[in-house]
Amino acid sequence: MKKIIFSVLMILTGFLSFCEDGKIFTFKYSKGDNYRILSTVKENVFLNGRFSHYSEILNRVSVRVTDVDDKGRGFNEGIFMTSESSVGRGGNFSWGDEYESKFWRNSSGIYEISDEYFMPVVRDVPVFPETPVKIGGTWTASGHEAHDLGRQFGLTKPFKIPFTVEYTYAGDEIIGGKTFCVIKANYEICYDSPQPKFMIEDYPASTVGYSNQTIYWDAEKGQIDHYFEDFRIVIESALGMTLDFQGTAHAEVTEFERAATEENLKEVQSKVAELGLEDVSVTQSDKGLTISIENIQFKANSAVLEDSEKEKLLMISEILKSYPNDILVAGHTARAGSEASCQTLSEERADSVAQYLIELGVRDKYHILTTGHGSKVPIAPNSTPKGMAKNRRVEITILDK
């Protein structure tokens, strides 16, 4: 069990109106809106009172508003991805487990979501009052966390922990020339779980903790721009095991346009041709716009890039810098040796390319993710040297979702 902070889903397109008595905060949705939320969590984990490990977690959420009803509710369809930093491979984040979620959220911020969905974890935060709020004004509202404890305790539905949030409109703050409304959201958890109806070996018996959040509302854009959080949560099981999570979190929201358009495809293909890049192709994929480097050269049986490939990546980096979207680097190998060794090598080579792109200033490590496919996705037969060269490739995707 890890305290994965998905309160990032509090950041949804919103609307702020002004009146003489204060400001009215209300969520407003537009059909077809796309946004991406990226949060990073840094936490220390303790098991039975002893330090277990430090964890850095990346949560990436891609959401599309597919419907808006006459009550102002927005229907959100999202893909949630969570990943931990790779230890010993440059600290890059690999593409992790993906979760689908679909839910309504009303103009106040309250969710309507089925128990088949485990994401987001933190729900009904923030919830705004219907009345105007002046600077210094406070209000309270109910919220809850919904955790997936299937692996730890065999629970098949989200484990829900209720709490009451205390809100304060703390004032306005100018950051980088922009004015934000600063909202403080704090809650404490003290919850004794009901005993499960069906006998299981162990279950989370009690949960205590707190969360202190500072939310920055962009009045010009009408949405939450970013937030900071410090938290602690302690879970004690019926058999006496304790899990203690202490840390901080930060989240940002980004509105983005699709990279994988016909116009962008032709433009990038033209740039690749102008640069004279050999063994490089550009295609539209289900995740975005993909630049594939075939026959990419590493030092023998390693993930160390040859200088010739660094020159090629230097030129490609200038193309990547013109897009604000996140990047996914996928490694592929030809079939040589066991599939396990191919898988490891593909991951290491993807990490090597990602690390070099980070060094070139394309993105920081939180916006470049990696994955490895081993030799499982060939694009040519492995029976010839030419085919093996094509399969030995790295794909760099400018992500649309």
3-state secondary structure 179-215: EEEEEEEEEEEEEECCCCCCCCCCCEEEEEEEEEEEE
How far is the C-alpha of 252 from the C-alpha of 370, rounded, in Å? 20
Phi and psi at residue 234, in whole multiples of 5°?
A: -125, 125
In this prediction, residue 87 has a pLDDT band, given cuts at 50, 70 and 90, of very low
Residue 204 has pLDDT above 90, yes or no: no
Strand partners, 169: 183
Q: Which helix (H) or strand (E) holds 352?
A: helix 339-359
User: What's the sign of the alpha-carbon dihedral 134, 139, 144, 145?
Assistant: positive
In this prediction, residue 302 has a pLDDT band, given cuts at 50, 70 and 90, of confident
The tens digit of pLDDT for each residue in 217-271 reads 887 776 788 999 999 999 999 899 999 999 999 999 887 677 888 999 999 999 9
Cβ burial, residue 13 (10 Å; 0-12/13-18/19+): buried
pLDDT value of position 214: 98
Q: Which helix (H) or strand (E) holds 146?
A: strand 138-147
CB neighbours (10 Å) of residue 68? 17
| Mean pLDDT, rounded, of the chain | 87
Cα atoms in the 13 Å half-sphere on the side-chain side of 196: 18
CB neighbours (10 Å) of residue 188? 13
Q: What is the mean pLDDT of residues 9-20?
A: 46
Token pair of 291, please?
């630049």
Q: What is the mean pLDDT of residues 197-215?
A: 85
pLDDT value of position 300: 76
Q: Which of 246-257 are b and which e, b meaning 16 or more Cβ less than 10 Å from the residue's Cβ?
A: bbebbbbbeebe
Alpha helices, DSSP H only, in 42-140? none
Amino acid at 303: A
| 10-14, 63-67, 165-169, 191-195 — most confident range | 165-169
The tens digit of pLDDT for each residue in 309-360 reads 999 999 999 999 998 889 999 999 888 778 888 888 899 999 999 999 999 9
CB neighbours (10 Å) of residue 45? 17
The tens digit of pLDDT for each residue in 105-120 reads 998 999 999 999 999 9
CB neighbours (10 Å) of residue 315? 15
In this prediction, residue 394 has a pLDDT band, given cuts at 50, 70 and 90, of very high
Q: What is the mean pLDDT of residues 137-150?
A: 91
Q: What is the mean pLDDT of residues 134-138?
A: 96
pLDDT value of position 356: 95
The full length of the chain comes to 401
Residue 298 has pLDDT above 90, yes or no: no
pLDDT value of position 9: 43
Reduced to 3 DSSP states, what percent helix, strand and coil does the chain have, rounded to the nearest 5? 15, 45, 35
The tens digit of pLDDT for each residue in 57-84 reads 999 998 999 999 999 899 999 999 988 7
